[in-house]
Structure 1
Amino acid sequence: MKVISICGVDCTTCGEYGKTCNGCDAIKGKVFWAPYMELDCCPIYRCCKDEKKFEHCGKCSQLPCQLYIDTRDPSYSEEKHLEGVKERVKILKAL
């Protein structure tokens, strides 16, 4: 069964799912990679859940906003990142 994060990522495809993470809602956005970026929480989670009180980013009329586009896995090329943004937006709009 897929577990879709608030930003549209299928959590079950992540190597940390079931280990250090059970999805954004379960860990309140305190994703494993945040400390590497000197953050305590995912900025997308903070915006979506804490500030705007949305169920997920698909409920926001600004999707994909600049924060959504700027929050990127540094190992991805720009092209791969933008493809992922498109796919995640599509997933979220369908929820």
Structure 2
Amino acid sequence: MSVISLCGVDCTTCDEYGKTCNGCEAIQGKVFWAPYMELDCCPIYRCCKDKKKHEHCGKCNQLPCQLYIDTRDPSYSEEKHLESIKERVKILKEL
């Protein structure tokens, strides 16, 4: 069963799922990669849940916003990142 994060990522496809993370809802956005970026929490989570009080980014009329675009897995090429955004937006719009 898939666990979709509020930004549209299928959490169950991540190597950290079930180890250090059970999805951003369960860990309240305190994702494993945040400390590497000198953050305590995912900026998308902060915006969506804390600031805008949305269930997920698909509820936001600004999707995909600049924050969504700027929050990129550093291992992704620009092309893979843009494709990921399209896929995640599609998933969120269908929720």
2:62 matched residue in structure 1: 62
Measured in 1, the distance between the counterparts of 2:13 and 2:4 equals 10
Q: CA deviation at 1:22?
A: 0.3
Q: Which runs of 5+ in 1 are unaligned?
A: none
The reply to whether residue 46 of structure 1 matches residue 46 of structure 2 is yes
SS of alignment partner, residue 88 of structure 1: helix
**Mapping 1:15-94, distance limit 5 Å:** 15-94=15-94
Using structure 1 for the length normalisation, give the TM-score.
0.99
Q: Please, what is the CA RMSD of the aligned residues? A: 0.3
Using structure 2 for the length normalisation, give the TM-score.
0.99
Q: Which runs of 5+ in 2 are unaligned?
A: none
SS of alignment partner, residue 41 of structure 1: coil
Measured in 2, the distance between the counterparts of 1:62 and 1:28 equals 22
Measured in 1, the distance between the counterparts of 2:25 and 2:73 equals 20
